[in-house]
Structure 1
Amino acid sequence: MHRKILPLTLAVLMIFALAGCGQDVVATVNGEKITGAELSQRVDEAKASMEKQGVDFSGDKGQTLTESLRKQTLDEMINNKLFLQEARKSGKLTKEQVQDKINIFKLQFTSTEEYNQFLAQIKMSEEDIAYILNMQDQVAKDIPPVSEDDVKKYYDENKEQFTHPEQLQVRHILFFVDDGSKGYPVQHTDAEARQMAEDVITQLKQGKDFAALAAEKSEDSGSKNNGGLYTFSAGDAVQEFADAASALSPGQFTQTPVKTEYGYHVIKMEKKIAAGQYPFEEIEQRLTEQLNQQAVSDKFSSMMQEAKNNAKITNKLTAKEGDTSKQ
């Protein structure tokens, strides 16, 4: 039903798409070239995505929009190139070190297929990813972790950020319905998934433990490891799931499978949580991770600003040359 928030490294990597080749150079970053073919590929991909959202690139307005998109995209590519250059300065990695970092990075993905799709999307080599990971490690190593007192102080000064509306806490077991076109980690026909859900309901009626069945059978990687536990507010879950859960009393489970866009669910109500404020103890770990990550992100921003100030960049679309701070 929900996925873990991806860490800083993965979020940073999502902005990359440095592929293609060509002879015409549209920009250089400290001597490294960005070609017209690379830029055109990136722009075409961005236009295709925007057109799916209803953006019209026809006529004079479309041409103006395309030119603006080219300039914006090239700026992003320049920044990405500079970022990779800085990553390469973080220390030479052996082939074994590259592979070790990639092996750890892959653990963030539910399958090899999902990882390969990610690589295809960002169009980076595993070696580039490893150097970015290495730079993050170097930055994080130099930043002291936030103290418990600092975390508590942030909580006390920003209590309005830690309130929640009424919530439902449920356990659920999911069986995907997918003919292979959705990219889910497991594929079942509609009939197969429904039958699997019905079999679980039969076992529950026989007295089997819901959490144990969720850990054993659920295909939702985001909740199966904690017995299918899922806490949500109105609007956080798909409507069919929310409606079925809301109709239950604590301790009850759905007597028939619940169909959603994901597949078939079996749901058990644990408790209804009144609107209020999250206790510090409940969010301390998450808030600590957030503040530590923010410290690393701030350091990254500072490093990149310094790199931009010292970089030698040419950009033929803006016909300017010099420090990025002057562009």
Structure 2
Amino acid sequence: MKIAKKVMALALSATLLLSLASCELITKTEEGKMKEAVAKVNGHTITRGEFLKRFETEKARMENLYGKDFFEKKENEAYVNQIKNNLIDNMINEVLLVKRAEELKVVPDEKTLQDEINKKIEEGKKSLGGEDKFNETLKNLKITLEDYKGYLRSGIIIDKLYDHIAKDVKVTDDDIKKYYNENIYDYTEKPNKMNVSHILVKTEEEAKKVKAELDAGAKFEDLAKKYSQDPGSKDKGGNLGDIYYNDKNYDKDFMTNAIALPEGKISAPVKTQFGYHIIKINKKEEYKQLPLEQVKAEIEKKLLDDKKAQAFQDELKKLKDKAKIKIYEERL
């Protein structure tokens, strides 16, 4: 009997030890998960913990905009996955750019970095209405002050790299003149606009048939309802509403022909990527073009900003093309 009790006690002890070991294993596993790589960039590991910090902040931001259940809705699943992919891509970019800044020796010294971080924090407090509001915002976005300082630090370093890469970018007078001539409708006293109707059909033969009926006296609105393949305008007699001359959302050939057409006139068939259009201009409002000298500084700034951004993107692309990058998508 005593032997049986002893065996039982040993068994209970073993069970307890296994139970404790199991708890320890669970704890280590959870901690270990946070240290797992979600991506590796030239030997640098981005951990799951680092990724989740950023993701939780983005999640909080989106939930503030679209509601607490945004991430749980099935219809948002693809969008949530896109958020995750964009987030890890941004983190990879950050690693590459900070490393490049170190290689080019454009990282400020520690005192300068701290001064700039503190300055940005003070600016943040001021813009949000004080320290309490600032801290509340960090809390709502699930960011610790230390993490926020880390994000600012990377941002400042990347800004210095941007300035270094873009320092030699220039815009010539020829660049400015070319842009002005190609975008004349961006530089008028008031925005030029026209009220446009159209009938869209699939073939040139159909378009010629519609035009013949119009020439014979048929009403444009009636033919649009009868023939047009554009579901957004056919029930409105083909009316597209007011279109600004510099609207880039419309087909270029469509816009060129519409702008050239006088008010009240109907076009011959116009071919675009969507088919053949018969265009009618119901009304136009046109204004005088501003002289180049008046808008030169504005155009120069735009072109300079665009060229700087392109130079930076080109540098980033080169870095990514050369880098060894591995993403563990199943861990995101």
Normalising by structure 2, we get a TM-score of: 0.46
Q: Which has the larger radius of gyration?
A: 2
Normalising by structure 1, we get a TM-score of: 0.47
